[in-house]
Structure 1
Amino acid sequence: MTANSRRLSILTKREIDDLYGLPRFSYEDRCLYFDLSANEQSAVDEVHTRSAAVHLALQLGYFKAKWQFFVYEREAVLDDLDYILQKYFPGKDLATVKGLSKPTRLEQQRIILQLFDYHIADSTAKAELEQKAQRVAMLSTHPVFILREALKYLTNQRIVAPGYTTMQDMVSRIVTGERRRITDLLGQAMTPLVKTQLEALLQSDEGMYRISMLKHEPKDFSYSELRQEVERRKFFQPLYAFGKTFLGANGLSNESVKYYASMVLFYSVYKLRRMAAPTTRLYLLCFAFHRFRQINDNLVDALIHLIAQYEKQAKLASEQAMQKAIIEASANLQAAGQVLELFINDSIPDETPFASVKQTAFSLLKAESFPLVSDYMRNIEFDKTAFEWSYYGKLQHKFKLNLRHLFCNLDFTSLVKDEPLLEAIQFLQELLRQGKTPRQTDQVNFPTGIIAKNVQRYLYSKIGKQKHLEVDRYEFLVYCQLRKALEACDVFVQDSNEFRGFDDDLIYAERWNKDKDAILREIGAPILLAPIQETLADLQKELEAKYKSVNQRINNGDNKYIKITGTGDKRRWSLVYPTEEETTNSPFYSQLPGIGVADLLWFVAGETGFLKAFTHVLERYVKQDADPRLILACIVAMGTNMGLWKMADVSGLSHSALLTTARNFLRAETLHATNDAIANATAALPVFREYDIDHQIHSSSDGQRIETQINTINAQYASKYFGLKKGVSSYTLSANHVPINAKIIGTHEHESHFVFDILHNNTTEIRPERHSTDTHGTNQVNYFILRVFEYQFAPRYRDLHKKMDGLVGFHHPSHYGDALIKPSRKVFDKLIVKEWPTNQRILASLAQKEVTQATIVRKLTSYTRQNQTKKALWELDNICRSIHILDFIDDHLYRQHIQKALNRGEAYHRMRRAIAYVNSGKFRVKTEAEQQIWNECSRLIANAIIYYNTLLLSRV
């Protein structure tokens, strides 16, 4: 490829070959693809010459394998021709099968197209494809994403894909055209002030470029770090205001904005200044827009975290105070008994003044201990809530310092405009933004609708006959209610990524109402296209049949792996779990000599061509190879947690060369593509499908905790895993032992929010059919969401009996009589039907790239926010969960398969831990992005090892 070419490098050579290369069949493949249907056999029989008939059968098999036509030399397909002869033309000699003339080949292609109702990509089809790709480019300008979506569109439309260079040129035109479209529009819309503000980002301030300071992420939730984040927010605010109007009006998706913004992180200031000015301005504007929203996310995260910490401190202090009070009361019981004896002591005359008796009593038991002991003796509980509110008074200086500057710089809104909480928030923000404090304000002006009856006695004190509002407690009440409302999505921050209104995460209502049918057809999910009544009928048929068969097999004794105790209404059951162990290390490998990591990576690079995925960050349009030694050294340095400095020391390579290579070539984007290339190569090996579970690809996902030595904003305390230290979690999707996707998440984030996310964003050719997690991967929506997108969700519960109350059926429980396994209630099918149009929009939004799937799932699973739409979606999930639980009870092999898939995920964690062994496996990086890169390097080494081992087995 020439230096001046505008053709993008999109796929590796192996990936191109997988799509367009002549099929290479194993014996099993030949049995599958050369098995002719009645119509296909009839078409072959109608061919007059035997050679042409053989070639038609050959082309039919190849077309079914790749939906492509091939021009081939006879010598390249001899094995396939021989198989066809033996199966369909016994006795015919291979030497008599001649090559095809071009007219005959084209005629056979016409026959095949007619048989399969396919079409050649003519000029009309190519024009429609380009229009589709242009729409896709508005969602994301990642070339691979555009190409995959274009190929998916062609498959759905039953059109034979044009050649790779045609597709490559089209994607190149579209990426370039989309960028030119946006930069031209920006040049027209940009005011002189915006232009000046963008250019100011590349100016130096006290020896440091302004953009470099603004790239900085907070290390933690300390006051100093968050104060700097607030200042960065103020700087970006004017640019964000312009960007919000401009980017929204011109159809740029969040994914595209994020992609353009990432270029600012990769490019140095020197290189940004050398670029074409319109391109630089687009990158900087997108960076300002994205960074502003990211800052708001960080500030809301910090606000929620700090408020929760103060609440936790108060609860802990009240628990300790209660225990102390109980101990002191118990210790004073003897003295209390002596006080009581004073009233029956005959030596004390009746006319003795009570003051004298009190004095004697106080000598036995201190006056301040009397209330404590009397409450204890009267069995009056310690008022923990009162203590908590009094403790907030002690925390007032802390929470005012740490919360007010966050609270004031965020804009909160709600769907309910007259909500008491929103009124209180706006009141408090207005005071603080004016430089006033609540104590300086007349209490009559405070909105008190937020103060519930059960907390009024803690927020008001009496001064004489007047009720006095404890202003500091009121302020903290607003913060507490705000935290709960943010987590429940009742209050949101519009200009953020994670905390904006739920409706803003969905496909825009106007577009949905106008293009609903087209959107659903593009997604292509059968459940979304079918009437909900039809889906419910299918679910009812499946679920009710399972209730019947499960109970029949138990009653007949056919289910040998369920243990029943008791009789009648006192019957109880438990499951027996027969084990099926998979050996971690096969004896086969112990017979082979070992291989070093460096040699292994060189070998795998030669076999898979993965080094070609490392494109230079600047030269996206030019194939510019780096020194492969440096790339591999960087991978080993980061993947083992060694780091570049130590690698330079032990390898003899210069640190500056390693650092430059890492900055230019090792990005999350290129590492992800490299991992995909190796995983795809592994999947193409004959042995790969031998690791199928129950004849299908059964994946699992789980998180592995990794301690961080340097504070980063996503690292959290988790005493169970890190003691007093902080860490993150590497959440990985594994299928047939291959880690096909991974992402770094916080240990405080629920793994179930990322299950669909990590499956949906898997870009390898390995497509799981069934997916398992442990209990942490389950929630109220994952079963149905995965079913919609054609995955079977099969988790393992820690305590299955706790889930039995959630079983549902399409009849009243009385319908099932004395069945041992029966539903606890009837399905709310009418609600499902009523809310289906809204739930269609939600589920369709999950297929888009406007927002991360994890964000939508997190909001859908919020317990504290109930509405009819979510209740209907949860009910669909209950049906799918019931089907899974019945299968789990009925089939011991199903249970074994789930456990096997989960064990493979754990095996990958052990391998990763062994790979990233330096520094005890702890991260030593400063940002979340670097964590992701180091984790991807570890995954790359693991994928290389797995490819190598699978290749050895395939050659046995």
Structure 2
Amino acid sequence: MGSRANAPRGDTGEDALARRWTLTAADAAEVLRARGAEHRLRCAVQLCTLRATGRFAADYRRVPPEAVNHLAAQLGLDPVLALPKPERPATESAQLARIRRHLGWGEFDHAAEQRLRDRLQERAAEGMTPGPLLALAEDLLRTARVVLPAPGTLERLVASAAAHAVQDLFERIAAGLPERLRDAIEDLVDVPEGEHRSPLAHLKEPPPAARAKAISARLARLDLLDELLGAGADLSAATPQLQQHLAQLGRRYDAQALRRFAPPKRHALVAAFLVETRKGLLDQVVAMHDQYMTGFERRSRLAYEEKHRALRRRAKSGLDTLLGAVDVLLDADRDAPISRLYEAVEEAALRGAAADCRAFARLEERGLLDELAARYGDLRRYLPAFLRLPFEAAAGSEALLAAIEVARMLDAGASEALLDDAPRHFVPAAWRKLACPAGQRPRRALWEIALAFAVRDALRSGDLFLAASRRHVSFWNLLMGEQQWAEAKGDVYARLPVPPRPDEALAALRARFDEAAGAAACGLPRNLFARIQDGELRLRQPDALPVTPGLRKLRAVIAASLPQVRVEDLLRQVDRWTGLTRALAPLGGYEPRGGEDTYRTLLAALIAHGTNLGVAAMAGSIEGMTPDRLHHASQWFLREATLKTASKAVVDHHHALPFSATWGDGTLSSSDGQRFAVQRDGLLGAVYPRYFGYYDRAITLYTHLSDRFGVFATQAISCAPREAGYVLDGLLENDTLVRPLVHTTDTHGFTEQLFGLCHLLGIAFMPRLKDLPDQQIYKLDKNTDHGPLEPLFRGVVDTALIAEQWDQLVRIAASLRDRTAPAHVVLQRLISASPADRVSKALTALGRACKTLFILRYIHEEPTRLAIQRQLNRGEARHSLARWLFFANRGEFRVGDYEEVMSKASCLGLLSNAAVLWNTVQIERVVGRLRAGGAEIDPADLAHVWPLQHARIIPNGTYFLGWPQDETAETASI
């Protein structure tokens, strides 16, 4: 912060000199009141410094010589090499007072200090941390035209105001907690005799994989929190954002650290943690139920199919036996005794064949339901407690809520006669004959299994919701409220690239549609990629992108010319360019430990997670390092938010390099998933048979990559759902300088609803569809004839429905853009909505129109196809860099907790971005040397030399050899 005491040393260009170091006529007159050339120069320097920074310069030696001589020229004075200190402090003080009066600035007196302190305490009570508070203090003083005190003085004032406000906040929160809850908190942070961990530590455990026992344990934990918080935990003294901040602190401090705090602080942190944990638990048990029911069905179906295969073979053999017996009977004399039949076919074989055929017939009729029912006992281990959750129903789903109430009454001991009139609309049609026989009472096991599936689906669609959760609230509560939408509507339509009137929006869409259809129809005779045969679309396999001999040689020369670099040296150099470690600030409220940790610790922790070594192995690879130091840095500094900010610094720096324009203009991006095995159970892990078989679990790291190779978003997701649900998250939560206008994915990253939302948000969505000929495409107008394309259209878009729901569709898009809720949550609700949901149907209709428009362009425009192919190839190539860096433990995650996985994923993304920046700088140097030597390099070839080389980067071995022990950077003290 000390640099604010002086004029910025970098402002020495012509524009900066003119802007910051130019005197007005009145300024010059004031300066000339000083006697002597040195006094006048010092006066001019202090005048300009105060006006620019709000402070007087404390050290004249730090003022740029260019600025001093620029002022000297304006005053008609001779140039100087350096400006000496004043000999008489009293003269200097009088001169500074005159400058203040001239510019109209006041002193930082007691009254100004008290006003500032009051304002800072207000903002600190709202959750602002010391870093932003210091910047706010400087801005407030400059706005009030009060001279800023010395940096150390202001920092101490800010720290004091923050500490006072936070302590006051802790006391107000603690005072609002009932005594019973405060006593319970004391018990939670106490380690019982004979135990190694506190009860609070158990509450912090991440959710395991969705098994019935684990779900039951989570529900019991939820009951415990309900009991603890039932008497009322009043956190109204803190804003919702501050509550979350305090909860994060409560999660990170262990019981031993919490016991050292004063009771008000301990009670406030743990209470906030408990409140936020309860919300998270509701989301967890919903996710676990969803995952369990999906596995429940999969296991039942696999068991059914295995029995079906075995019985089918036996039934076929038995059928042959029975048919043989029938033939014997038909050919025999009618008066012949039955013994003649047993002479041809043994009785045992005949009976066995009949039993096999009956068993197979029974299996086909009810085998799957029998397998489901056989697992009913395991489902019952948690289902009664799960159905006791405080579900609420959206309009039209009240019958499902009534069915849940019936199940609750049955679990409470009511007679099964309740099932006679219980709702059964949710029972699948294929089950009803056996689950709900006509005129009979439904079979409770199958009825409850069907209810469990129905609840899962209703929670996905939002037909059921939990008001106290974070993500499973009612759909419209995820978005802008009605009043907020009414107030913001005008501004939203001004900022989103869509007109406010639906007829105008549809007219524009029709014009683009007709243009694309006309061009595709006219180009069919000359189209070498697509043709229409027998009323169906036929495509020719696209050729691989060519690699010329010149390009192959250029790649080899550049690869051989890149210097070898260890990963820690690479990271240090990139930090010097970008200042990425300055973003790795601890959570506000963090109390630093005594100066045992260094800059190396922070880089070592980054590398430990980004290479998958882990803190123990990394500590053993660095002289003098301990696992405790690395764990401490990881826990407090390497959070998802700070790593995202650090990665932003690297991406922004790379994006701004002129040489990065070699690969694109930054408006094209792609997203793709990379699968990694995971060894520990967790909600993220899922079976992925394609690569990992039916028993090993895997997760997906879903990354968004710009055409300049910067990864601007990383998400850890399950392999189970479609990746399409997470495309918008990365695009909308992007804070970098990258601003994609066109986005591409593979087939797994596409849905029709996503097409519609991208259109509303002004993003051209262009996926590569593997099954393109099988995609259904739609007309916008039934009566329009599109010539040779006519056989391809399978339906007509319901434009009237789009017009009817236009306002609501734009409201959804605006809410996503403003990040009121995670995009994947909203998109999942819309995809899973019931067929009667008109908003969802309207979005699907819009998406079908946009998908058809894109397909027509794709089959006609070769440059579009090539651009999509190139960008997706870049994404695949980036996966190789990630694999190279994430080398340890065979590239398998050994943690299952979402936070730990995201920490590793974010560190990996940061390391790969640093490698891309490093490679870009080195490639530019190599190309510069080649061109200086007379080599002619085709820009088209250079565009295919990507900064993803990794063979020269060394990610393993012994780290930080040759580094000085006191290596430092401008980072927070660990």
Short-chain TM bin: 0.7 to 0.9
> Which whole-Å CA distance do the structure 1 matches of 2:122 and 2:874 have between them?
39
Q: Is the 8 A contact 2:189 2:200 kept in 1?
A: yes
> Which whole-Å CA distance do the structure 2 matches of 1:373 and 1:703 have between them?
47
- The amino acid across from 1:885 in the alignment is I
SS state at 1:797 partner: coil
1:387 to 355, 358, 367: 367
Q: Is the 8 A contact 1:634 1:658 kept in 2?
A: yes
**Which deviations, in whole Å up to 9, do the C-alpha atoms of 1:598-624 show, x marking residues without a partner?**
221222222222222222336669999
Asked if 1:672 corresponds to 2:655, the answer is: no
Partner of 1:711: 681
- The amino acid across from 2:393 in the alignment is S
Partner of 2:354: 370
1:216 to 174, 198, 205: 205
- The amino acid across from 1:887 in the alignment is R
How much has 1:712 moved relative to structure 2?
Answer: 2.3
- The amino acid across from 1:217 in the alignment is P
2:779 to 808, 815, 818: 808
> Which whole-Å CA distance do the structure 2 matches of 1:911 and 1:645 have between them?
24
SS state at 1:745 partner: strand
> Which whole-Å CA distance do the structure 2 matches of 1:417 and 1:566 have between them?
46
Partner of 1:404: 383
1:540 to 494, 510, 515: 510
How much has 1:945 moved relative to structure 2?
Answer: 1.4
Q: Is the 8 A contact 1:642 1:919 kept in 2?
A: yes
Asked if 1:742 corresponds to 2:714, the answer is: yes
Asked if 1:471 corresponds to 2:429, the answer is: no
> Which whole-Å CA distance do the structure 1 matches of 2:357 and 2:591 have between them?
81
> Which whole-Å CA distance do the structure 1 matches of 2:503 and 2:133 have between them?
35
Larger displacement relative to structure 2 (870-879 or 770-779): 870-879
1:594 to 553, 558, 564: 564
How much has 1:770 moved relative to structure 2?
Answer: 1.7
Larger displacement relative to structure 2 (738-747 or 826-835): 826-835
> Which whole-Å CA distance do the structure 2 matches of 1:911 and 1:137 have between them?
43
Asked if 1:422 corresponds to 2:401, the answer is: yes
How much has 1:574 moved relative to structure 2?
Answer: 4.5
Partner of 2:101: none
Asked if 1:638 corresponds to 2:609, the answer is: yes
The structure-2 alpha-carbon separation of the partners of 1:545 and 1:645, relative to structure 1 and needing over 3 Å to count, comes to same
- The amino acid across from 2:374 in the alignment is K
- The amino acid across from 1:363 in the alignment is E
**Which deviations, in whole Å up to 9, do the C-alpha atoms of 1:3-34 show, x marking residues without a partner?**
xx9x9xxxxxxxx99xx9869999xxxxxxxx
Larger displacement relative to structure 2 (172-181 or 209-218): 172-181
1:74-473 equivalences under 5 Å are: 186=173, 189-206=176-193, 207=195, 208-238=197-227, 252-253=239-240, 257-273=243-259, 281-341=267-327, 343-344=329-330, 349=335, 363=347, 365-367=349-351, 369-370=353-354, 373=357, 384-401=364-381, 403-404=382-383, 406-416=385-395, 419-432=398-411, 434=412, 436=413, 444=420, 447-448=423-424, 455-459=431-435, 467=440, 469-473=442-446
**Which deviations, in whole Å up to 9, do the C-alpha atoms of 1:71-115 show, x marking residues without a partner?**
9x99989xxxxxxxxxxxxxxxxx9x98799xxxxxxxxxxxxxx
SS state at 1:832 partner: helix
The structure-2 alpha-carbon separation of the partners of 1:473 and 1:320, relative to structure 1 and needing over 3 Å to count, comes to same
How much has 1:299 moved relative to structure 2?
Answer: 1.7
SS state at 1:593 partner: coil
- The amino acid across from 1:413 in the alignment is E
1:38-57 equivalences under 5 Å are: none
How much has 1:894 moved relative to structure 2?
Answer: 1.3
> Which whole-Å CA distance do the structure 2 matches of 1:172 and 1:510 have between them?
39
Partner of 2:25: none
Q: Is the 8 A contact 2:712 2:730 kept in 1?
A: no
Partner of 1:790: 762
- The amino acid across from 2:277 in the alignment is R
1:494 to 458, 463, 467: 467
Partner of 1:756: 728
> Which whole-Å CA distance do the structure 1 matches of 2:132 and 2:720 have between them?
31
The structure-2 alpha-carbon separation of the partners of 1:404 and 1:879, relative to structure 1 and needing over 3 Å to count, comes to closer
How much has 1:703 moved relative to structure 2?
Answer: 0.9
The structure-2 alpha-carbon separation of the partners of 1:827 and 1:426, relative to structure 1 and needing over 3 Å to count, comes to same
The structure-2 alpha-carbon separation of the partners of 1:373 and 1:938, relative to structure 1 and needing over 3 Å to count, comes to closer
The structure-2 alpha-carbon separation of the partners of 1:877 and 1:472, relative to structure 1 and needing over 3 Å to count, comes to closer
RMSD of aligned alpha carbons? 4.9
- The amino acid across from 2:715 in the alignment is K
Larger displacement relative to structure 2 (222-231 or 747-756): 222-231
Q: Is the 8 A contact 1:230 1:409 kept in 2?
A: no
**Which deviations, in whole Å up to 9, do the C-alpha atoms of 1:332-371 show, x marking residues without a partner?**
3453245325545666737x6x899899987164436437
Larger displacement relative to structure 2 (670-679 or 453-462): 453-462
SS state at 1:807 partner: strand
Aligned residues: 818
Q: Is the 8 A contact 2:700 2:718 kept in 1?
A: yes
How much has 1:896 moved relative to structure 2?
Answer: 0.9
How much has 1:783 moved relative to structure 2?
Answer: 2.5
How much has 1:886 moved relative to structure 2?
Answer: 2.4
1:661 to 630, 633, 640: 633
How much has 1:796 moved relative to structure 2?
Answer: 0.9
**Which deviations, in whole Å up to 9, do the C-alpha atoms of 1:707-748 show, x marking residues without a partner?**
112222321121222222112111111111121221211111
Asked if 1:767 corresponds to 2:739, the answer is: yes
**Which deviations, in whole Å up to 9, do the C-alpha atoms of 1:431-463 show, x marking residues without a partner?**
32x3x3877x6765755565576534312679x
SS state at 1:815 partner: coil
Partner of 2:98: none
> Which whole-Å CA distance do the structure 1 matches of 2:815 and 2:679 have between them?
38
> Which whole-Å CA distance do the structure 1 matches of 2:794 and 2:167 have between them?
60
TM-score with structure 1 setting the length: 0.74
Asked if 1:481 corresponds to 2:454, the answer is: yes
- The amino acid across from 2:457 in the alignment is K
> Which whole-Å CA distance do the structure 2 matches of 1:341 and 1:661 have between them?
83
How much has 1:490 moved relative to structure 2?
Answer: 2.5
Asked if 1:562 corresponds to 2:529, the answer is: yes
How much has 1:913 moved relative to structure 2?
Answer: 0.3
2:481 to 491, 504, 508: 508
Larger displacement relative to structure 2 (471-480 or 885-894): 471-480
Asked if 1:579 corresponds to 2:558, the answer is: no
Q: Is the 8 A contact 2:659 2:924 kept in 1?
A: yes
The structure-2 alpha-carbon separation of the partners of 1:717 and 1:825, relative to structure 1 and needing over 3 Å to count, comes to closer
Asked if 1:858 corresponds to 2:828, the answer is: yes
The structure-2 alpha-carbon separation of the partners of 1:24 and 1:282, relative to structure 1 and needing over 3 Å to count, comes to farther
Q: Is the 8 A contact 1:272 1:280 kept in 2?
A: yes
Q: Is the 8 A contact 1:239 1:285 kept in 2?
A: no
How much has 1:326 moved relative to structure 2?
Answer: 3.1
**Which deviations, in whole Å up to 9, do the C-alpha atoms of 1:183-237 show, x marking residues without a partner?**
6874675444444445554344445333212111232223443333222211212
- The amino acid across from 2:813 in the alignment is L
SS state at 1:705 partner: strand
SS state at 1:507 partner: coil
The structure-2 alpha-carbon separation of the partners of 1:826 and 1:341, relative to structure 1 and needing over 3 Å to count, comes to closer
The structure-2 alpha-carbon separation of the partners of 1:457 and 1:543, relative to structure 1 and needing over 3 Å to count, comes to closer
SS state at 2:785 partner: helix
> Which whole-Å CA distance do the structure 1 matches of 2:350 and 2:13 have between them?
93
- The amino acid across from 2:215 in the alignment is L
Q: Is the 8 A contact 1:828 1:875 kept in 2?
A: yes
Larger displacement relative to structure 2 (270-279 or 746-755): 270-279
- The amino acid across from 1:287 in the alignment is F
Q: Is the 8 A contact 2:466 2:472 kept in 1?
A: yes
Asked if 1:651 corresponds to 2:635, the answer is: no
SS state at 2:308 partner: helix
- Listed as ranges, the gaps of 5+ residues in structure 2 are 16-51, 55-62, 77-119, 137-150, 929-974
- The amino acid across from 2:569 in the alignment is D
Q: Is the 8 A contact 1:219 1:711 kept in 2?
A: yes
How much has 1:497 moved relative to structure 2?
Answer: 2.9
Partner of 1:910: 880
